[in-house]
Structure 1
Amino acid sequence: MTETDHRPSPKAPPATTARTFFISGFGTALEFYDFIIYGLAAAIVFPAVFFPSFDRTVGTLVAFAAFGSGFVARPLGGIVIGHFGDRIGRKAMLVLTLLIMGGSTFLIGCLPAYDTVGVAAPVMLVALRLVQGFAAGGEWGGASLFGIENAPEDRRGLWGSFTSAGIGIGSLFGTGAFTLVTLLPEEALQAWAWRVPFWLGGLLVLVGVVARSRMPHEERRTDRAPRVPILAAVKRHPRQMLLAIGVAFGYNTLAYIGTIFTVTYAEERGYTSTESLLLQVAGSVAFTIAVPAMAVLSDRRGRKPVVIIGTLAYAAFFFVYFPLVDGHVLVLATLAYVLVNVLMAAPQACIPAFLGEQFSAATRYSSISATYQTGAALGGGTAATAATALFIAYDNDPVGVGLYSGAAALVLVLCAWGLRETFRVPTAHLGTDTVAGTYSTTCSGAA
C-alpha cells in the first residue's frame, strides 16, 4: 500500500517558517487560550457562579471536575477528526476544529448562573466543555503535523514545536485577559466580567479560521489511504501507540498541575487572584521563550535526552517550587513560576515531533491524535482534580502533590525511553521498517 502524501502540491506556495508558525502555532494559541481561560475561571470564578452550594475549596474541586469533563471527549475527537484528516487531508479538519472551539467558547460566556436557572447552569457548562474537548482532540495533532510534514529535515523538532509555542502564547493571552478582569471589583467579576475573555476568545478564533482557510492544499490520494486509519495504526504500531499514550499521560499530568493547580495553590497561600495570575503570566512568557530553544536542542542532540532530562528536572523542582511560593516573597515566587515553566518546556517542545515521527504518513493524524488525546484525558483531565484532592487530604501540605508529580514524571520517562529515537530519520522513512533498521543504529547513540 502506497501511503498518502500530505505535503503541499507543487502548485501550492511553499511553507515558510513564518507561514507555518501562523497556521500551526497561532491556531493552537487560540485553542489553548480557550482552554486556559476555562481553567482559570474554574479556579477563580466558577465555584461561586456555578457551584455556590459548596464551600470554596470543595467548590473548586467540583469546578475542576467539570473542567476535566472536557477531556473525556478528546480521544473521540482525536479518532474522528484524525480519521478524516488522514482520509481527506489536514486543512478541512483544522478549520473545523477552530470553528467548533470558538463557538463553544463564546457560548460559555453566555451561560446563565446557578442563581438564575439552578442546576441547568452547570449541566450546560459541562455540555459545552464536552464540545470543546471534542474539537481540541483533533486540533493539536493536525496542527503539529502541518509543521512536521512541511519542515526541513533538520528542523522537524523546531517546526513541530510551533504548536507548543502556541500553547505558551495562548496561556499568556488567557492569563493576561483574566488578570485584567480581576482588577475589577469582585461583584463585577462574578456578575459579568468573567464572560468577556470567553466572548473575546470566540471572536479571535475567526482570525485563525481565515489563516487556515488559506493553507496550501495537500496532495491527497485517498484511494491509497487505509479505510480505517486508526485500526491500521493499531495493527502496524501497537507498541508505539501504547508508549505514546504513556508519554502524553505523564506530560499532561505535569502540565496541568503546573498551569491550573498552581493558581489555586497560590491563592490558598494568601496571594490575591491578580497576583497569582501575574505569576502565571511570567511563567507563560518563560515557557514561550524556552520552547524553541528546547526544540532546536532536540534537533541537534535528539528527542530523548531533552524529554527525559527535562522531565526529571521538572519533577524534582516541584519540591523546591512549593517552599519558594510559601515564602510569600514575590520575587522568589516569580522565579519559581519561571523555572517550572522553563523545565516544562523541555518535554513539551519535543513531544509533537517525537510522537509524530513514530508513525507512518497514511495513519499519522489518527495515530498522534488518538494516542496523545487518550493520554491527555487520563492525565490532564484528572490532574487538577487529583492534585486539589491530595492537597485537601494532606491538610494543605503540598507533599502529596509533589509525590503525584514524581509518579507522573516516572511514567513519562519510562515510556519516552521505550520509543525510537528518530530525529535523524528522513521524513519519507518515518514509521516504516527502515526506522528499525538502517537508521536506528545511527540514532540510538543520541539517546
Structure 2
Amino acid sequence: MSAHSVDASAQPALPPGKPRKAAFAAWIGSALEYYDFFIYGSAAALVFPKVFFNPGDPATATLISLATFGVAYAARPVGALFLGHFGDRLGRRKIMVLTLIMMGLSTFAIGCLPTYAQIGTVAPVLLVLMRVLQGLSAAGEQASANSMTLEHAPEHRRGYYSSFTLNGTQAGQILATLVFIPVAALPDDQLYTWGWRIPFLLSAIVAVAGYVIRRKLEETPVFEQASARNEVARLPLVELARHHWADVLRVICGALVATVSTIFTVWALSFATKDDSGLEESSMLLVGVLANAVALLAIPLWARLSDRIGRKPVFLTGTIGSGIMIFVYLWAVSTGSFPLVLLTGIVLFGVVYSAANGIWPSLYGEMFTAQVRLSGMAVGTQIGFAIAGFAVGFAEQIAGPGGDGWAGVAAFTAAFCAVSAIAVATGRETHRVPTADLGLKATADAGLKTGPAGAVR
C-alpha cells in the first residue's frame, strides 16, 4: 500500500467529554483495585512464607513467596491480549467494570484459603491460582482507565486528568499498607492464623463498589465517534502488530521503570525486616504510607508540568532520578536507621519516581490511535510490568539470604531505569498533538490512510 499523507485539519472535532467524572471513576476504581493488589505484596513479604510454604526452610519459603508476587505479572500480558482486544472492540467502560469485579472476588478468595499446615502443597497451588486471576484483572484495569480519562480530557490537560489513574493506585497502596500496619502488629499466634486474612476479606467491598461507581460511566467521545462511523478495528491486536509494533516496544521498555516500585514495595520491605536489621515491620510499612501520601500530591503536579513542557522531560527526570536514588535508599535500609530510611524513601518513591509514574498514562496513550489505544497500552505496559514483577525474585537471589548484596540490587534496578529512559528519549513528543490526531504519525509512517478519529482504512 502506498503512503498517504495525513491531513490533521481533516479530522473532525470531537464532542466534549466529561473529564472530571471519568477521572473520579478512574481514581476510585484504581484505588480499590490496587488495594487488593498491594496487600498481596505486603503479605508475600511478611506473612505468606510462614503460612503457605514449608516453615522448615525459611530462606526458600521467602524466596518462593516473593516469586509468587511476580506470578501475577506473568499473567498480565495474557490478560492484556484478551482485555485489550475487547476494550478496543466493545469500549473502555465494560472492561473497567469487569476488571474490578475480577480483582475483588479473587482477592476475597485468598482470604478464605486453607494454609500449608492444613492441606500441604495444595495451599500454595491455590494461592498462585488466585494470584493469576489478580494479574489478569490488573492487565486491563490501568489501560482501560487511562484510555477513558485521556479520551475524555481537554486536549491541553490530558496529562493532568490521565494521572488520576496512577494517583488512585497510590491511594490504594496507602490503604493497603494502613490496613496491614495493625495486622502486622498482632501477636504471632493471631497474625498467622486469622489476622492476615482480614485485609483480603475486606476486598468483598471492591466488587460492590466497583460496580456501583463505574456502571453508569459514559463511553469516551473518541470511541463513540469511531463506533458510530463503523471504524472500530475488527482485530485490534492484528492492527497493533502490523502498524504500531515500534511504539509497543517503546512502551515495554518504558514500563521497566516499574522495577523501582516492586523493589521499593516488596523486596526492600523483606530486606529491611530481616532478623538482625533493627527495623520493625510496622515502621517500614509506615515509610510506604508516607511516601505514597507524598506521591498523591506529587503525581498531579508532575502531570500538570508535563502538559506545559512535554511528557519526555518529566518522564526522564523520574527515570534517571530513580536510578540514582535507589542506591541511596537501599544504603539507608542497610544502615538500619529509620530516619534515613524515611527521608530517602519519601524522596525516592514519593517525589522522584512520581515524575515517571504520574505521566506514563498520557505518554503511552498518546502514542496510539483510538482504534488500538487500549490494546497498545495494555500489551506494552503489562509485558514491561511482568519483567518488573519478577525482578523481586531476582533481587532476592542477587542480594543473598542476608541481603548483603543490596548494592547489586540497586545496580540491577538502575539498569532497568536506563533502558526505560533511552526508550522514551528516542520517541516523539506528543503533548501538543490534538486528541483526534494522536498516533497518526505512526500510521502515516507505515504508509496507511487514516480516517476520522484515527481509524485506519
TM-score (norm 1): 0.91
Q: Secondary structure at the match of 1:280?
A: helix
- Cα contact 2:33–2:206 (8 A) shared by 1: no
Aligned to 1:137: 139
Percent pairwise identity: 37
- Structural mapping, 1:379-394, within 5 Å: 379=388, 381-392=389-400
Deviations 1:323-360 (A, max 9, x none): 32333332222111101111111111111100000000
Deviation of 1:88 (Å): 1.2
Deviation of 1:16 (Å): 4.2
- Structural mapping, 1:206-285, within 5 Å: 206-218=208-220, 219=224, 220-221=227-228, 223-248=230-255, 250-268=256-274, 269-285=277-293
Q: Which stretch of structure 1 is more off in the superposition, 98-107 or 325-334?
A: 325-334
Letter in 1 for 2:262: Y
- Cα contact 1:429–1:435 (8 A) shared by 2: no
Q: Secondary structure at the match of 2:307?
A: helix
Gapped regions of structure 1 (runs ≥ 5): 438-447
Q: 1:288 aligns with which of 274, 296, 312?
A: 296
Q: What root-mean-square deviation, in Å, do the aligned CA atoms of Structure 1 and Structure 2 show?
A: 2.2
Are 2:22 and 1:15 equivalent residues in the alignment?
Answer: no
Deviation of 1:232 (Å): 0.2
- Structural mapping, 1:294-313, within 5 Å: 294-313=302-321
- Structural mapping, 1:347-358, within 5 Å: 347-358=356-367
- Cα contact 1:75–1:370 (8 A) shared by 2: yes
Letter in 1 for 2:259: T
Deviation of 1:391 (Å): 1.0
The total of aligned residue pairs comes to 428
Letter in 2 for 1:197: P
- Cα contact 1:160–1:352 (8 A) shared by 2: yes
Aligned to 1:429: 437
| 2-structure distance, mates of 1:61, 1:112 | 21
Aligned to 1:441: none
Aligned to 1:78: 80
Deviation of 1:183 (Å): 2.1
Q: Which stretch of structure 1 is more off in the superposition, 201-210 or 138-147?
A: 201-210
Deviation of 1:52 (Å): 2.6
- Cα contact 2:23–2:161 (8 A) shared by 1: yes
Deviation of 1:390 (Å): 0.9
| 2-structure distance, mates of 1:298, 1:217 | 26
Q: 1:360 aligns with which of 357, 361, 369?
A: 369
Q: 1:190 aligns with which of 175, 189, 192?
A: 192
Letter in 2 for 1:234: A
Letter in 1 for 2:146: S
- Structural mapping, 1:48-127, within 5 Å: 48-127=50-129
Letter in 1 for 2:168: G
- Cα contact 2:23–2:162 (8 A) shared by 1: no
Deviations 1:103-137 (A, max 9, x none): 00000000000000111100000011111111111
Aligned to 2:411: 403
Aligned to 1:32: 34
| 1-structure distance, mates of 2:110, 2:442 | 48
Aligned to 2:386: 377
Aligned to 1:203: 205
Deviation of 1:276 (Å): 1.3
| 1-structure distance, mates of 2:162, 2:59 | 38
| 2-structure distance, mates of 1:233, 1:178 | 41
| 2-structure distance, mates of 1:436, 1:165 | 34
Deviations 1:153-197 (A, max 9, x none): 111111111111011100000000001211221110110111110
Deviation of 1:74 (Å): 0.6
Q: Secondary structure at the match of 1:161?
A: helix
- Cα contact 1:22–1:211 (8 A) shared by 2: no
Q: Secondary structure at the match of 1:73?
A: helix
Deviation of 1:394 (Å): 8.2
Deviations 1:63-103 (A, max 9, x none): 01111111121111111111111111111111011111100
| 2-structure distance, mates of 1:46, 1:368 | 32
Q: 2:424 aligns with which of 416, 433, 436?
A: 416
Q: 2:348 aligns with which of 334, 340, 355?
A: 340
Instruction: Classify 1:225/1:95 alpha carbon distance in 2 versus 1 (closer, same or farther; 3 Å).
Output: same
| 1-structure distance, mates of 2:442, 2:128 | 46
Instruction: Classify 1:436/1:410 alpha carbon distance in 2 versus 1 (closer, same or farther; 3 Å).
Output: farther
Letter in 2 for 1:40: S
Deviations 1:287-337 (A, max 9, x none): 222111111111111111111122111111122212323333322221111
Displaced runs of 4+ in structure 1, greater than 6 A?
7-10, 434-437
| 1-structure distance, mates of 2:403, 2:185 | 30
- Cα contact 2:271–2:403 (8 A) shared by 1: no
TM-score (norm 2): 0.89
Aligned to 2:452: none
Deviation of 1:436 (Å): 7.6
Letter in 2 for 1:252: A
